[in-house]
Amino acid sequence: MEAEGGHGYRVAVVGDPVGPGGRLRRLGEDGTPVGAERPVPDLAAEVGRREAADAPRWVWASTDELYPGLPRVGRCHDVKLVESLLLGQEGRHGRPRSLGAAWARLHERPEPPDTAEPGAEDQPVLFAADRHHLPPDTDPLAALIAVHAAQLRRIAAGEHPDRMRLLAAAESAGALAAAEMGHDGLPWSAAAHDELLTGLLGPRPAGGARPAVLTELAARIQEALGQPVNPDSPAQVLPAFARLGVQLPSTRSHELRRIDHPAAALLLRYKELSRIHVAHGWAWRERWAPGGRFRPEYVAGGVVTGRWATRGGGALQIPRLLRGAVVADPGHRLVVADAGQLEPRVLAAMSRDTGLTRAAAAGDLYAALAKDAFDGDRGRAKIGLLAAMYGQTGGEAGQPLAVMRRSYPAALALLEAAARTGEAGGVVRSQLGRTSPAPSAGRLFDDSADSEDGATPDRRAARSWGRFTRNFVIQASAADWALAMLAALRRRLAEVGPEPRLVFFQHDEVIVHTPTPLAAEVAAAVTAAGEEARRLVFGATEVPFPLDTHAVRSYADAK
């Protein structure tokens, strides 16, 4: 994947508000128009023709709005997503990102609301005449060209323009992949799903009744507690435990696991199976996986760290118990690839800590840490490293964290500098330049884990934000690598042929659905994409980013 502004030319494109037509205009590498605009009666046909002939970089306001009606393209510049990156870089998180909002800022006009932003429904509607929130007398194509050119200038003026160009290209490629995966869908076997659900829950109940297994568990919970309760109601369950002398702050799973009482174990099992029934049961399949395909609505860049979100369907949380329902079509295989220990490897690459880099190169990073500094205790090594990345200081993390600080000083220095920046109200950036929000953006996190006696609420909030920025630099940089890998994989799969299709992406895992004869070639493409992303994002690091790859019939078979 080349960074933003690579070979070829650009084409700005807008669709007709109604009908299949649209307008296009060729752009130079700096975003300035070249030649006259071209109205076309069939936008999809024209995009397909130009893509086949020249493979330009397509410039449009929003991939998720325009791309689903177009043929597949190789590259784009998504103005909405790039605007979000630039607003963050400029310390303006939370501002509307639509084309109309960007145009208004460019022309020093009042900004319109952006319905993609929290709270937008409470803002006054200034420009309601256009889906991009442009004033009625503004030409969408001219506005798109002006905003895109301004974005290129803002990228060039940044502290690390090459990194931001790469991030903009990767973010935009991710949006293409998200739309394509939503269109193609993840293979989902109704028969296998039924078999799994029946084994877990019993036969499908009529109406909205509880499945038989849940009904039985509810009765056993009531018996163990000695009174009738609805296991779905914390307001009933907590007093029932209290009457037995068991004080619980909530019915969250981690609280129940601390309790040595038969009802706690039963309630844990009930919650697990109830979650499957509600989130991925029979009704879910009818809504989200009709016709043998699960088609989630991915939201590229939906999380502030760069991770994706979904608009429903739970694509990012397919339970391990139900992975057997993801089954390749006859004559096909699922190539499943997982980047193990991704965030610790990111920390090693960013910090250039000699000891952590050596451990990462050894294969199992935690085992190497254990051998190097923890007397062979892999569990303590993992606790120490995770405590360092997530800001845990108390309990069992204290002693392993002290070992980490002595043995891997450069890695700990990077994390602690990020935490201090957050505590002071500053922002931190990922490897490619994605910027954390400032605390004033209203995104304070739960500070209940902070147990220092005597700390004021403001101090506890500052420490909480420091824990967030400590992990942001790692999690967001892991997202940088994952997006670069995804973009490279899209390109390499297209070189293999039209049949292999990327059908699933989750933080550090991808699935490609491919004809069986091409599985080995697809697996090689995945490996090469991971290596390409390592080089692009982290340069000449010695830290490997291996992808554990399996060609399987069912997702459950990928161990």
Average pLDDT over residues 428-432: 97
3-state secondary structure of 506: strand
Q: Is the pLDDT of residue 207 over 80?
A: yes
For residue 3, is it within any domain? no
Please name the amino acid found at residue 320: R
Short-list 400, 405, 490, 472, CA closest to 436: 472
330 and 393 together in one domain: no
User: How far, in Å, CA of 529 to CA of 1, rounded?
Assistant: 9
User: How far, in Å, CA of 118 to CA of 536, rounded?
Assistant: 33
475, 504, 520 — which closes off a domain?
475
Instruction: Specify whether the CB–CB gap between 96 and 113 falls below 8 A.
Output: yes
260 and 148 together in one domain: no
What string of DSSP letters covers 226-288? TS---TT-HHHHHHHHHHTT---S---HHHHTT--SHHHHHHHHHHHHHHHHHHHSHHHHHHH
Instruction: Specify whether the CB–CB gap between 486 and 308 falls below 8 A.
Output: no
For residue 2, is it within any domain? no
352 and 336 together in one domain: no
Q: Can you give the pLDDT at residue 341?
A: 94
Predicted structure pTM score: 0.89
CATH code of the domain covering residue 37: 3.30.420
Residue 338 bridge partners (DSSP): 509, 548
State residue 147 phi and psi, 5-degree precision.
-65, -40
Contacts 24+ apart (CB under 8 A), 266-270: 266/217, 266/220, 266/221, 266/224, 267/221, 267/231, 267/237, 269/217, 270/214, 270/217, 270/218, 270/221, 270/231
Short-list 344, 350, 346, 388, CA closest to 367: 344
User: How far, in Å, CA of 354 to CA of 431, rounded?
Assistant: 19
User: How far, in Å, CA of 523 to CA of 527, rounded?
Assistant: 6
Q: What average pLDDT does the structure give for the chain?
A: 90
Q: Can you give the pLDDT at residue 454?
A: 61
Q: What is each CA distance from 56 to 8, 350, 455, 495, in whole angstroms?
A: 5, 33, 57, 17
Q: Is the pLDDT of residue 444 over 80?
A: no
Q: Can you give the pLDDT at residue 450?
A: 44
26 token code pair: 């060729």
Total domain count, the chain:
4
267 token code pair: 């309630």
Q: Is the pLDDT of residue 74 over 90?
A: yes
74 and 169 together in one domain: yes
460 and 387 together in one domain: yes
3-state secondary structure of 416: helix
For residue 4, is it within any domain? no
Q: Among 7-16, 364-373, 511-520, whose mean pLDDT is lowest?
A: 7-16
CATH code of the domain covering residue 549: 3.30.70.370
**How many CB atoms are located within 10 Å of the residue 287 CB?**
10
Average pLDDT over residues 379-406: 87
Q: Is the pLDDT of residue 535 over 70?
A: yes
Q: Can you give the pLDDT at residue 317?
A: 82
Task: Give the DSSP H/E element, type plus range, for residue 107.
Answer: none
250 and 122 together in one domain: no
CATH code of the domain covering residue 426: 1.10.150.20
270 and 365 together in one domain: no
pLDDT digits (tens, 9 = 90+) for 80-103: 999 999 999 998 888 888 898 998
User: How far, in Å, CA of 489 to CA of 507, rounded?
Assistant: 14
Q: Is the pLDDT of residue 326 over 90?
A: yes
174 and 31 together in one domain: yes
**How many CB atoms are located within 10 Å of the residue 243 CB?**
10
Residue-number span of the structural domain to which 106 is assigned: 10-183
* Beta-strand relationship, 57-60 and 10-15: parallel
pLDDT digits (tens, 9 = 90+) for 186-203: 999 999 999 999 999 999
CATH code of the domain covering residue 219: 1.20.1060.10
pLDDT digits (tens, 9 = 90+) for 451-460: 445 667 778 8
Q: Is the pLDDT of residue 504 over 50?
A: yes
252, 269, 286 — which closes off a domain?
286
User: pLDDT > 70: what percent of the chain?
Assistant: 92
Q: What is each CA distance from 524 to 89, 164, 480, in whole angstroms?
A: 36, 28, 21
Which of the four pLDDT bands, split at 50, 70 and 90, describes residue 396? Answer: confident
342 token code pair: 């991704």
397 and 439 together in one domain: yes
pLDDT digits (tens, 9 = 90+) for 266-297: 999 999 999 999 999 999 999 999 999 999 89
User: pLDDT > 90: what percent of the chain?
Assistant: 77
User: How far, in Å, CA of 417 to CA of 523, rounded?
Assistant: 39
67 token code pair: 């791309």
For residue 521, is it within any domain? yes
485 and 454 together in one domain: no
Average pLDDT over residues 350-369: 94
Q: What is each CA distance from 499 to 257, 331, 517, in whole angstroms?
A: 46, 12, 11
For residue 324, is it within any domain? yes
Average pLDDT over residues 416-432: 95
Q: Is the pLDDT of residue 443 over 50?
A: no
User: Packing angle between helix 354-361 and helix 342-351, nearest 10 degrees?
Assistant: 140
Q: Is the pLDDT of residue 265 over 80?
A: yes
Average pLDDT over residues 518-525: 98
Instruction: Specify whether the CB–CB gap between 148 and 81 falls below 8 A.
Output: no
For residue 5, is it within any domain? no
State residue 272 phi and psi, 5-degree precision.
-65, -50
User: Going along 487-536, which residue ranges are E strands?
Assistant: 501-506, 509-515
pLDDT digits (tens, 9 = 90+) for 148-185: 999 999 999 999 999 999 999 999 999 999 999 999 99
Short-list 46, 4, 49, 53, CA closest to 29: 4
pLDDT digits (tens, 9 = 90+) for 224-245: 999 999 999 999 999 999 999 9
For residue 389, is it within any domain? yes
For residue 274, is it within any domain? yes
Residue 39 bridge partners (DSSP): 23
63 and 172 together in one domain: yes
313 and 364 together in one domain: no
240, 265, 286 — which closes off a domain?
286
